[in-house]
């Protein structure tokens, strides 16, 4: 998961992660409002979240891709591991994130 300040950037990140097969799917959600320290004051920020589903094997590449294409000074890429999922989902996730070969979604 990563956040960005722009809907366009969120959608671009989500789409490029899937097109490059670094993620099986990605969602751009928002806008969300939060609070963070900016300088010496707490500020209200508007952000979009990008959620990507990938495998352990592709995570480092995905994180690097998101950081490189984020467009802001700090790309706060956060990893949330899948503890449990149906076997069919995990098979689909693996099939959709291989760099070559047939896709299951076609």
* pTM of the predicted structure, to 2 decimals: 0.86
Given a cut of 70, whether residue 66 has pLDDT beyond it is yes
Mean pLDDT, rounded, for 34-45: 95
- What's the Cα-to-Cα distance from 7 to each of 14, 28, 69, 88, 103, rounded to whole Å? 11, 8, 14, 31, 28
Three-state DSSP string of 79-90: CCCCCCCCHHHH
- What's the Cα-to-Cα distance from 58 to each of 36, 49, 73, rounded to whole Å? 30, 20, 23
For the chain, what's the residue count? 106
Share of the chain above pLDDT 70, in %: 93
What does the block give as tokens for 43?
Answer: 């500020």
The predicted structure's pLDDT at residue 71: 80
């Amino acid at each position: 998961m990563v956040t960005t300040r722009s809907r366009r950037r969120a959608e671009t990140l989500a789409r490029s992660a899937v097109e490059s097969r670094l993620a099986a799917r990605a969602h751009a959600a928002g806008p969300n409002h939060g609070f963070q320290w900016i300088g010496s004051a707490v500020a209200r920020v508007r952000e979009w979240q990008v959620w990507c589903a990938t495998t352990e094997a592709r995570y480092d590449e995905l994180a690097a891709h998101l950081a490189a294409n984020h467009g802001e000074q700090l790309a706060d890429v956060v990893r949330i591991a899948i503890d449990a999922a149906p076997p069919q989902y995990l098979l689909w996730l693996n099939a959709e994130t291989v760099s070559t070969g047939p896709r299951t979604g076609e």
